[in-house]
């Protein structure tokens, strides 16, 4: 009750402040809100009815609950993420741009034995996670779903990152019914289960053998498992303590295997079974989010809760991917807008009433949530532990004054997107300035435009998607073949204006060169020639009961 009154007082204070013409600063926040972050995997721009409701595919996209949340919240129209999973998730957890934590989406089995700090895929051990920060402010912290931010070392799993409780799979995409991994630590011929609870394998959730979408008798769809954990966490939470809950859904990542009833509902999609599965999985997650909102309302937590919903990267637009990012160009794996401009909005009862229904077009990056959540909790985002190991500092900016309406403009003036070049070197490929100019260098993957209704049977598979040649990745003078777009005027990136704007190319190229000097590129090791005889696989088989899990201290 006290939290509800404090929240009401905060909203009143905002309104009075606006009436009298003064700004309310972040330090004026009187109550610590419950914070729920929902990360939807591989969610396409045009697979959200908020964007698709006037498009030809509107009959296929059924997200009424997410759309309702967005309409009653603040839509972040230019929220930028990495083009693949691990960099986005690591940025969210640590507050660094991926260029300063990891651009590697790689293999949990590889490691560099000479570097116990950063010599493996994911977040370096000494970087302080957002859950660790919020725990110092009295938050109870929970994680459910896809982790994919490192799991080779015990210092990388959710428990070590500050989550009081966690139920997660550690690698990129396990089977929704058997929870079998996709060769994260072993090769073909050796199947592991990828599901981890707190400090060890989630043996209590081991499914019966041969579970599929048509099997009953104890089999449970994995997103249902995570929803149950999220619901129970809310229902049994002591509301006198602030809650930080991250729900990272399996959907809409492959392998797609939605429940049969939903598949039947999308049986009218006959030209691409993967698009049928994809849209069924999107609807499934939408229904689960709707039930989450109802649970918050039933428990009385809604009024003091801030909900942040984001995609981790653009949708995979290939024939085998199933997504559409129309009207944006590109998709997952590439740094065109379809790959890095993701669905995002903020909602919940804690959001000031005056901001509900707003669309903010200022730049926001996924690393900004770290600093924003720290501001809401009243803790310093500075990572002194990481600094003592010589690791890059936090990059994220506090967006609360912008989101809450205290400021009219975003504090972010640029977005940087990095990729992994040869020999594991991290390098910036994209810089976007506050005028909307976007410079791209090197070979840019996944460069096709999505159709409104797509992909179809004729859409290329992932390996056949086109590549945009943006010249030398080193950006040496006179910057030949660089790609320059103004994404504010040309959101579909159809017109390369580099030839007409050499001074802008030069300015942004210098910025890319400066950013390259800050790139964090530790030697993370190499994938073993025979994974089945390497330490990761052997440890999972002999010490972890056949589960994917850390093999380093």
44-96 pLDDT, tens digit per residue, is 999 999 999 999 999 999 999 999 999 999 999 999 999 999 999 999 999 99
Whether residue 5 is predicted with pLDDT greater than 50 in this model: the reply is no
Domains present along the chain, CATH in parentheses: 32-434+519-542 (3.40.720.10)
pTM of the model: 0.94
pLDDT in tens, 484-538: 999 999 999 999 999 999 999 999 999 999 999 999 999 999 999 999 999 999 9
What is the reported pLDDT for 106? 84
What is the reported pLDDT for 422? 83
* Residue 1 pLDDT grade (very low, low, confident, very high; cuts 50, 70, 90): very low
Please calculate the CA angle 290-134-98 and round it to the nearest 5 degrees: 80
Question: With contact defined as beta carbons under 8 Å apart, do 69 and 339 qualify?
Answer: no
Question: With contact defined as beta carbons under 8 Å apart, do 37 and 310 qualify?
Answer: yes
What is the reported pLDDT for 476? 84
Cα–Cα distances (Å) from 485 to 366, 442, 502, in that order, read 22, 15, 12
pLDDT in tens, 285-305: 999 999 999 999 999 999 999
What is the reported pLDDT for 28? 39
Mean pLDDT of 98-122: 96
pLDDT in tens, 25-48: 333 344 899 999 999 999 999 999
pLDDT in tens, 417-476: 999 988 789 999 999 999 999 999 999 999 999 999 999 999 999 999 999 999 998 888
What is the reported pLDDT for 15? 34
Question: With contact defined as beta carbons under 8 Å apart, do 385 and 392 qualify?
Answer: no
Cα–Cα distances (Å) from 454 to 62, 95, 257, 315, 546, in that order, read 15, 34, 19, 12, 39
Neighbours of 499 (CB within 10 A): 10
Name the nearest CA neighbour of 223 among 167, 274, 279, 171. 167
* Residue 210 pLDDT grade (very low, low, confident, very high; cuts 50, 70, 90): confident
pLDDT in tens, 309-324: 999 999 999 999 999 9
Give the whole-angstrom CA distance, residue 425 versus residue 160.
Answer: 27
What is the reported pLDDT for 424? 84
């Amino acid at each position: 009750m006290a939290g509800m009154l404090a929240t009401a007082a905060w909203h009143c204070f905002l309104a009075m402040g606006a009436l009298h013409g003064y700004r309310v600063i972040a330090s004026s926040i009187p109550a610590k809100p419950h914070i729920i972050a929902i990360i939807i995997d591989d969610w396409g721009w045009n697979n959200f009815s908020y964007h698709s409701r006037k498009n030809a595919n509107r009959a296929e996209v059924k997200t009424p609950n997410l759309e309702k949340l967005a309409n009653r919240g603040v839509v972040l129209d230019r929220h930028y993420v990495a083009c693949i999973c691990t960099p986005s998730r690591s940025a969210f957890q640590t507050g660094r741009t991926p260029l300063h934590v990891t651009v590697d989406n790689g293999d949990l089995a590889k490691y560099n034995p000479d570097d116990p700090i950063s010599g493996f895929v994911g977040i370096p051990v000494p970087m302080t996670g957002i859950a660790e920060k919020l725990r110092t402010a009295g938050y109870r912290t929970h994680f459910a779903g896809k982790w994919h931010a490192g799991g080779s070392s015990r210092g990388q799993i959710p428990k070590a990152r500050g989550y009081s409780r966690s139920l997660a799979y550690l690698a990129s995409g396990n089977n929704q019914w058997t929870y079998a991994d996709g060769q994260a630590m072993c090769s073909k011929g050796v199947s592991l289960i990828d599901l981890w609870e707190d400090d060890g394998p989630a043996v209590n959730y081991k499914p019966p053998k041969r579970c599929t979408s048509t099997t009953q008798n104890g089999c449970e769809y994995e997103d249902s498992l995570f929803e149950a954990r999220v619901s129970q966490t809310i229902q049994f939470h002591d509301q006198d303590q602030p809650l930080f809950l991250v729900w990272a859904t399996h959907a809409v990542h492959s392998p797609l295997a939605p429940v049969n009833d939903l598949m039947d509902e999308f049986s009218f999609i006959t030209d691409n079974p993967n698009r049928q599965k994809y849209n069924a999985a999107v609807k499934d997650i939408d229904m689960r989010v709707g039930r989450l909102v109802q649970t918050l309302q039933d428990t009385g937590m809604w009024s003091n809760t801030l909900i942040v919903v984001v995609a981790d990267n653009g949708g995979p637009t290939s024939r085998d991917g199933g997504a559409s990012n129309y009207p944006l160009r590109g998709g997952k794996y590439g740094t065109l807008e379809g790959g890095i401009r993701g669905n995002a909005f903020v909602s919940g009862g804690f959001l000031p009433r005056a901001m509900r229904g707003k669309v903010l077009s200022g730049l926001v990056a996924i690393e900004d949530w770290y600093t924003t959540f720290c501001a809401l909790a009243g803790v310093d985002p500075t990572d002194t532990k990481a600094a003592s190991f010589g690791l890059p500092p936090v990059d994220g900016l506090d967006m609360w004054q912008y989101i809450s309406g205290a400021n009219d403009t975003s504090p972010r003036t640029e977005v940087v997107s990095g990729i992994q070049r040869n020999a594991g070197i991290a390098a910036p490929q994209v810089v976007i300035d506050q005028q909307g100019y976007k410079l791209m260098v090197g070979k840019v993957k996944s460069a096709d435009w999505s159709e409104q209704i797509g992909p179809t049977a004729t859409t290329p598979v992932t390996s056949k998607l086109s590549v945009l040649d943006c010249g030398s990745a080193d950006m040496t003078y006179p910057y030949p073949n660089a790609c320059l777009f103004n994404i504010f005027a040309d959101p579909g990136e159809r017109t390369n204006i580099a030839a007409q704007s050499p001074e802008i190319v030069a300015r942004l190229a210098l910025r890319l060169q400066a950013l390259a000097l800050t790139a964090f590129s530790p030697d993370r090791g190499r994938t073993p020639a025979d994974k089945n005889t390497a330490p990761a696989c052997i440890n999972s088989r002999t010490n972890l009961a056949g589960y994917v899990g850390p093999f380093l201290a």
